[in-house]
Structure formats: structure tokens, C-alpha cells
Amino acid sequence: MQPLLQLKNISVHYGGVKALNDVSLHLDAGEIVALMGPNGAGKSTILKAIFGLVPTEHGMIMLEGQKITPVPYQIVHAGIAFVPQGRRVFTHLTVEENLEMGGFAVKDKIELKRRMNEILETFPALKTKLKAKSGSLSGGQQQMLALARGLMIEPKILLLDEPSLGLAPKIVKEVFEKIAEINQHHKTAILIVEHNIKSLLQITHRAYVLDKGRVVAEGPSTKLMNSDILEQVFLGKME
């Protein structure tokens, strides 16, 4: 069975710096896959390359067996949603308006409302806040809104960049539980960059470990959790 998403020998340069060096990975339907590694390893660059936010120097990105040249608005129509670092909700808009922005590609108003109602079942805390400006929400609520907004296109793939960043431990736990619920309930495949490794490995099926723009390890999350590869990478002991 072919992967839902596949990167083959992708390289990305920022100026004279090689952010990604011949990276290959894949994401199967229904999986949660983690990208882990120290700052500057290239994790977020992978998400941006998939979404068309940075150009690839060489290599190939395949979606459902077809080569694609990512352009953000086209990628959304192809069924890939991106929730970037820092939540980035539209603080001057209401929760409802933020969700409508997430569903901008849906032209049928009845269908848009159906999707919103379905997503609010997954995020009941947002139901009572629909008319509130999203800038008035707590950090945790804003992260939930960012996730909910990403689901408005009913994506096949959700790209998440540091969803626990800046959140209190209790809220982090809730966010990870919600990510697992999205995967199970909506059958969404998820590729996630996250520094909170202990929480992350508990909800993921597989993981890739990156260092200096290269994949240095991959495998089932449980296997990586019990190996010393993460310690080697984060302590700078990789050859």
C-alpha cells in the first residue's frame, strides 16, 4: 500500500545554510508521526516544505502516489492543513469567524455550518465562546481554536508545529488528548513537530529523529522511547 504522503530526498537551503539534507520520510493514512530533534534540526522546515512555504532545492513530494509542487492554497484544496507555531488565531475576529476563515474553501453555507457543528462536538469548550473575540481566549483555548480551524477543510493530513508551545502542563495534556481524539474520530493523519517528547511519544505511532537537517533515526515511538538515540542527539553526541 502506498503512503498517503511521501518525501523523497528533499533538500532545502536558507541562504548558505542547508536546512534539510536529502530527507526521506512517509506518513500513512490514519497515523500520527512525530518529528523530533534539537533546535535547528530541520523539523519545522519539513512542514513548511510540504505546505509550500519554503522552496525545495531538489527531491520529490508525493501525495497519494502523485508528485506535487506545493503551493499553499492548492495544498489546502488537496486536503492538507497546517497549524503553525504560536497558534496565530485572528485575535480581532470572533471564534465563529475564525472557524469560517478555516473553511474558506467551502462555498456552500449549509456545508460550512455542518462542518462547524461537527467540529464543535470535538471542541465543546468553544461552543459557548463562538461570539467572543478570539483575542480574549486563554492560550489553551486559542490552541484548541487553531486546531479546530485546521479541521474545517476536513483534511486528510494535519501538520502541527509545536502545539504545546507556551502552555501550562495541565493544558499541554489536554492538547495532546485532543490531538489523539482528532486522529481517532476524524481519521486524520497527523505529522507533528513537538519539543515535549514524553507526551508526544505516548500518542504517536512512529517517529523520525532529525539532527543537522538529516534523518538519523526512525521507528515505532515505543522503540525510540527506550533507546538512547534521543539522548545522543539532544546532547550533541551524534557523529
Q: What is the pLDDT of residues 130-186, one digit of tens each?
A: 999 999 999 889 999 999 999 999 999 999 999 988 888 888 888 899 999 999 988
5-87+155-234 CATH:
3.40.50.300
pLDDT at residue number 130: 95
DSSP string, 132-159: SBGGGS-HHHHHHHHHHHHHTT--SEEE
Residue 192 sits at φ, ψ, to 5 deg, of: -130, 130
Full-model pTM: 0.91
Q: Give the domain ranges of the chain.
A: 5-87+155-234
Task: Give the CA angle between residues 216, 221, 224 to the nearest 5°.
Answer: 50
Name the pLDDT band for 236 (thresholds 50, 70, 90).
Answer: low
Distance CA 178, CA 38 (A): 25
